[in-house]
Amino acid sequence: MGLIKEFKEFIAKGNAMDLAVGVIIGAAFGKIVSSLVDDVITPALLTPALKAANLEKIQELKTDGGILYGNFLAAVLSFLIISFVIFLLIKVINTMKKKEEPAPSAPAGPTQEELLAEIRDLLKNKS
């Protein structure tokens, strides 16, 4: 029974729940970004180049020896575009965070000199 109790406590902790939510949202967000890259951005950028090469898909690119390097190029382009889109999203999120009011700082306490002066005054009054 101890193992089940520990497991329930682990699952109920905020960190585990936050991680689970983050993974689920990340997977859904990944599908959105992949669709944006595969269905919108990549065709818009590559259509002129592919038409010039008489190809329909970048994956069809190959050397005279039959090496398909188009798949590799497609993966590299996809990575670069996804990285750039995520960079832009994080940049927008960071600018939104900067607009939030900073928390007021705690009032500064007395300085060391002020404390020493108080101790000196107390000692003078004592004698």
Residue 102: the pLDDT is 64
Averaged confidence pLDDT in the chain: 80
Residues 6+ apart with CB under 8 A from 61: 53, 55, 68, 69, 70, 73
Range with the lowest mean pLDDT among 10-14, 25-29, 59-63, 80-84?
10-14
Long-range residue pairs from 65-72, CB within 8 A, at least 24 positions apart, any chain = none
pLDDT for residue 116 is more than 70: yes
Query: Is CATH 1.10.3470 the right assignment for the domain spanning 2-99?
Result: no
Please choose, from the candidates 79, 87, 69, the residue with its C-alpha nearest in 3D space to the C-alpha of residue 41.
79
Structure tokens at 101: 């009011």
